Every structure is written in structure tokens, then in C-alpha cells.
Amino acid sequence: MNNTSVEFIIAGRRQRRRRWIVVTSFLTVLACILCCAMLILGNTIYPIKDVIRVLTGEKVEGVSFAVSTIRLPRMLAGLFAGFAFGIGGTVFQTMLRNPLANPNVIGITSGSSAAAVFCIVILQSSNAIVSIASVIAGLATVILLYLFSRGTTFSIGRLILVGIGIQAMLNAVISYLLLVSAQQDIPAALRWLSGSLNGSQLHTLPPLVISVLVFAPITIVLGKHLSTLELGDQTATSLGVNTDKTRIALILSAVCMIALATATTGPIAFIAFLSGPIAKRLVGVGFSNIIPAGLVGVNLVLASDLIGQFAFEVRYPVGIITGILGAPYLIYLLIRMNRKGDF
């Protein structure tokens, strides 16, 4: 390889790095703007200086309650849940080499939702129990996916089809739980199932926050191996990647974050599905898109929640807005994959 080729490769790598930095910086700034909007906007629009005074611990009459009790928990729930859904979704899509292989489509979110609904409407459990049950159910769904999609050879298409079947079965379980639950519990469960930041409270957020702070760095560190895993186990092993340990660590981290985000906000539709492809389109190839995908998830959740609150006469939960955004893309993707013969 001559010097010209080496210089060309180095220049290309620098260009890709600059693009990653620019995109990530832009997404971070946009997320900060949306976080501020979540704290400022509402039935009453508060000046930014009053919001800052409340956040620094000062008591401001007429502002403190709305900001610290209603708007701040709502913003934090959207921030951490969006980041968790974004990272978790792109891990599954990249590792399984298919944009449909995300927690929403293959049933992992439905597994966590079924467990959470059972705890909410049947057991009337505490938030801690709901979180634990969601994580266990999410991991159990992954195990079922593996067992039912096994064959002589691993097939991503078969895994997706099995996942869609499991999702349908779990949605039927959720419908049954709602049917046999007490009448007064149904509105709260339906509101939660639509994916909503309404009613978020600071004391319910620690499990989600801790899971993101613990598992997101693990996922980011191991994310550099995702592109290598896409090449196949033999190639990845020859390049020095312990495929089994890496895959297990990534799956456990992603499922824990997604399950706890689901337990906190409900299954916000299509965030895990959209974040990875959008981040990949913005960042391009050559660098891990784990962090950009998480930031895209944050921006989608916060922007959709603001749209649901203020763009219409009736206020809609964030999951309805993200569902409207994500459904056309899912249909487009299914048509494209069918034409390519991926099923």
C-alpha cells in the first residue's frame, strides 16, 4: 500500500470522525433545547431564570410546584427512557443485522409490558416490583425467542417471524388481563400501555436512571464490536472478539434498560425501531452509532411529547405521536424487505 492510499484512508477516517462529532454535538444541543422547553412550557410559560432558580433549590412562589413536581419528572422520564429505548433498539438491530429485529417488533417490549400490567392491575404491586418483573419478563422473552427460533442454522428471518408471533401472544395476554381486572384499574393501565410521560414522579425514576447509568456505558464500550459481529462469528473471533460474552453482555444490558424504561413510561411505540436507522443515516459508517442512537431516542420522545401536549386541542400521550411517526416507516420497510426477498 503506497503513501497516497494511506493518506486517503486517514483523510477518510478523519472526515467520518468529524461527521460523528458534528452530528452528536447537534443532537446533544437539540436535546438540551427540548429539555428546557419541557421545563418552561405548559399551561403557564415560566421565564428561564425562574426555572433555573427552582432547579438550584430556591423556592419560587407559583413556579416551584409546577417545575419540580410535574415538569422535571416528566422531562427526566422522557430523557432517560428515550436514551434507553434508542440504545437498546440499535443494539438488537445491529447485532442481528436486520432493522426489524428490534424490541418492539420481536416481542421483548410486549413481554415487559405483560408483566408490568399483571403487577399493576392484578397484584397492585409497588413500582420496585413492577420494575423487577419487567426485567425478568424481558429476559424470559429473549430466551423464548432463542428456543423457538432454533433450527439447523440460525435464521434472522425465522427469529423475526417467531418474535412477531410471541408479540401477538403477549398482546393477547395483556388484553385478557385488562378484561379480568377491576374496572377502576383499566384507565390507568390503558394510559400506561399507550406510552405516556403523564404522572411521572421523581421517586419512581431511580431504577430507570440507575439502569441507564450502569448499562449504557457497558453498551457504549462494547458497541465498537457490533460492526465486527455483523461480519459473522468466525470473522469476529479471528479479529479477537469473544463473541459469546460480548453478545450476552450486550443483550443483558439492552434488555435491562428497555424493560425498566417500559416499566417507567410504558411501551413508547417505535422509539427503539426508529432511533438506530435515523442515527445511522446521520452518522454514516465507520464509527459506532450507539450514542447518536440514544440521543435520537431522547429527541424523538421529548419532541413527540411536546407535540402531543401543545399541537392539538386534545392532549395525547407521547406513544400515540411516536406511533403515528413510526407506522409508515414500518410499512415501507416491510415492502422493501419483501421486494428484496429477505423474508
pLDDT tens-place values along the chain, 343 residues long: 556 666 666 776 778 888 899 999 999 999 999 999 999 998 889 999 999 999 988 888 888 889 999 999 999 999 999 999 999 999 988 887 777 777 877 888 888 889 888 988 888 877 778 888 888 888 888 888 888 877 666 667 787 888 889 999 999 999 999 888 888 878 878 877 888 898 888 988 999 999 999 999 999 988 877 777 766 667 777 777 777 788 888 888 998 899 889 888 988 988 988 898 889 888 877 677 899 999 999 999 999 999 999 888 888 899 999 988 888 887 877 777 667 655 5
| pLDDT, position 193 | 84
Q: How far apart are CA 89 and CA 108, in angstroms?
A: 11
What is the pTM (predicted TM-score) of this model?
0.89
Q: Measured between alpha carbons, how far is residue 164 from residues 146, 213, 333 in Å?
A: 13, 30, 15
Q: How far apart are CA 108 and CA 296, in angstroms?
A: 21
| pLDDT, position 219 | 92
| pLDDT, position 341 | 57
Q: How far apart are CA 21 and CA 27, in angstroms?
A: 10
Please report how the helices 290-310 and 318-340 are oriented relative to each other, as an axis angle in degrees rounded to 10: 130
**Fold classification of 19-340 (topology level):** ABC transporter involved in vitamin B12 uptake, BtuC (1.10.3470)
Burial of 137 (0-12, 13-18, 19+ CB in 10 A): buried
All 3 cell numbers of residue 334?
Answer: 416491510
Give me the residue spans of the domains in the chain: 19-340
| pLDDT, position 154 | 60
Q: Where are the alpha helices (DSSP H) in 41-107?
A: 48-55, 64-65, 72-95
Phi, psi for 336 (deg, rounded to 5): -65, -45
| pLDDT, position 124 | 81
All 3 cell numbers of residue 17?
Answer: 470522525
Q: What is the dihedral of CA 83, 336, 92, 129, to 10 degrees?
A: 60
Q: Where are the alpha helices (DSSP H) in 105-242?
A: 108-117, 127-148, 156-180, 186-193, 206-222, 226-229, 233-238
| pLDDT, position 295 | 96
Question: In terms of residues, how long is the chain?
Answer: 343
All 3 cell numbers of residue 247?
Answer: 453478545
Q: How far apart are CA 82 and CA 301, in angstroms?
A: 6
